[in-house]
Amino acid sequence: MLKKLLCAFVIGSLARPASAQKEETPPFSIIYSTRHPEAVFDLEENPPVIARMVEQLVMAATGRPDAASGWRTLVSPQDRVGIKVSAAGGRYFSTHPAVVNAIVAGLESAGIPRSRVIVWDRDPEKLAEAQFVGRPGNYQVRGVAGPKDYDRKAPVLAPVLGRLIWGDALFDEKQRKTLGAAPDASSLLSSTSYIATVLSREVTKVINVPVLSDEAQCGVAGAFYNMTVPNLDNWRRFTQPGLSGPESLPEVYADENIGPKVVLHIMDGLVAQYAHGPRGNGNYAFAHNTLYASKDPVALDTHAFRLIESWRVEAKLPRMEGRADWLRTAAEIGLGQSDPARIRLQPVALSK
Q: What is the DSSP annotation of 228-243?
A: HGGGBSS-GGGT-TTS
133 or 8: which leads in pLDDT: 133
Give the closest residue to 121 by CA, choosing from 169, 166, 170, 88.
88
Rounded Cα distance between 123 and 188, Å, is: 23
How many residues comprise the chain?
352
Count Cβ atoms below 10 Å from residue 241 Cβ, excluding itself. 7
Task: Give the per-residue pLDDT at 174.
Answer: 66
Q: What is the mean pLDDT of residues 231-252?
A: 92
300 or 135: which leads in pLDDT: 300
pLDDT bucket at 178, cuts 50 / 70 / 90: low
Q: What is the mean pLDDT of residues 311-326?
A: 96
Task: Give the per-residue pLDDT at 164.
Answer: 87
- Average model confidence (pLDDT) across the chain: 90
pLDDT bucket at 26, cuts 50 / 70 / 90: low
User: Which CA distances in Å does 352 have to 51, 52, 53, 266, 349?
Assistant: 13, 10, 11, 22, 9
Is the pLDDT assigned to residue 181 strictly greater than 60? Answer: no
Q: What is the mean pLDDT of residues 69-73?
A: 98
Q: What is the mean pLDDT of residues 268-282?
A: 97
Give the closest residue to 214 by CA, choosing from 37, 68, 89.
89
Task: Give the per-residue pLDDT at 35.
Answer: 98
Task: Give the per-residue pLDDT at 6.
Answer: 36
172 or 197: which leads in pLDDT: 197
Helix, coil or strand: residue 24: coil
Rounded Cα distance between 32 and 98, Å, is: 19
Architecture, CATH, for domain 26-146+198-347: 3-Layer(aba) Sandwich (3.40)
Q: DSSP for 157-182, please give it.
A: EEEEEEE--BTBTTHHHHHHHTTTSP
Task: Give the per-residue pLDDT at 20.
Answer: 40
Q: What is the mean pLDDT of residues 266-285?
A: 97
Rounded Cα distance between 324 and 217, Å, is: 8
Give the closest residue to 29 by CA, choosing from 303, 296, 222, 347.
296
